[in-house]
Structure 1
């Protein structure tokens, strides 16, 4: 028999895609911080050019920011976080056109898991129409992608950014605020 153990909390990250930063930023950050606490890291805007999947809805050119939060969160909150970000996207949409796309996930010592509303063979159902996507695995001191990993997460630039966030997460685990 295995004994259930509650895992360490995870580092909440949110990937934000937009072509309209001047309309949504920094108000979007304020809203996210109201819900999830102070941001630990906010990246500069960087290229999102691995796909044109979002071009029609979000406009072009689309760029990305990564945000992580200083308060570590229980991993079983992922579905609720995704439901919140979906509502936030819709609340700011105009005639069905989103101003931004929000992809929340958790970094842990072992992995990056993103939340999605889309089922696929490798995704695990959480609740309320939300699935967990095992996007990257940490192995031998580096991120390792899977055949299903989106190209933008498989690239060296993204992996480098995520490695820095993972190190920050490890520091938080080792030096909890009292």
Structure 2
């Protein structure tokens, strides 16, 4: 018999895709901090050109910001976090189109799991129409992707950024005085 153990909390990250930052930034950042607490890292916008999937809705050129939050969060909060980010997307929508795409997820020592509203073979149902996407795993000191990993997350640039965030997360776990667990 296995004995259930509550896992360490995760580092909440949110990937933001947008082509019209002037229409939502920094107000969006303030809204995210109101929901999830102070940010830890807010990267500058960088190129997102691995797919044209979002072009029609978001416009072009699309860039991405990756942000993380100071306070670690329980892993079972991911579905509720995604529901909150969906509401923000709706709140800022213009003429029925989203102004930005928000993809929340958790970095742990073992993996990166993103939240999504779309089911697929490798995704696990969380609750309320939200699924967990096992996007990357951490093995032998680097991120390993899967055949289903989105091309942008499989790229070296993103993996490098995620490694930096994972290092920050590991430091928080090792220094519990600096994070709310």
Quick check: TM above 0.5?
yes
Give the Å deviation of 1:176. Answer: 1.4
Provide the TM-score with structure 1 as the length reference: 0.99
Counterparts in 2 of 1:83-162, with a 5 A limit?
83-162=83-162
> Is residue 26 of structure 2 the alignment partner of residue 21 of structure 1?
no
Give the Å deviation of 1:157. Answer: 0.1
Determine the structure 2 residue equivalent to 1:31.
Answer: 31
Counterparts in 2 of 1:41-56, with a 5 A limit?
41-56=41-56
- Give CA deviations for 1:117-174 in whole Å, capped at 9, x if unaligned: 0000000000000000000000000000001000000000000000000000000001
Determine the structure 2 residue equivalent to 1:7.
Answer: 7
State how far apart, in whole Å, the 2-side matches of 1:95 and 1:23 are: 14
| 3-state DSSP of counterpart to 1:112 | strand
Which aligned runs of 4 or more in structure 1 are off by greater than 3 angstroms? Answer: none
Listed as ranges, the gaps of 5+ residues in structure 1 are none
State how far apart, in whole Å, the 2-side matches of 1:29 and 1:157 are: 23
- Give CA deviations for 1:46-84 in whole Å, capped at 9, x if unaligned: 000000000000000000000000000000000000000
Determine the structure 1 residue equivalent to 2:76.
Answer: 76
State how far apart, in whole Å, the 2-side matches of 1:67 and 1:10 are: 14
| 3-state DSSP of counterpart to 2:34 | helix
State how far apart, in whole Å, the 2-side matches of 1:59 and 1:34 are: 27
| 3-state DSSP of counterpart to 1:2 | coil
Give the Å deviation of 1:96. Answer: 1.1
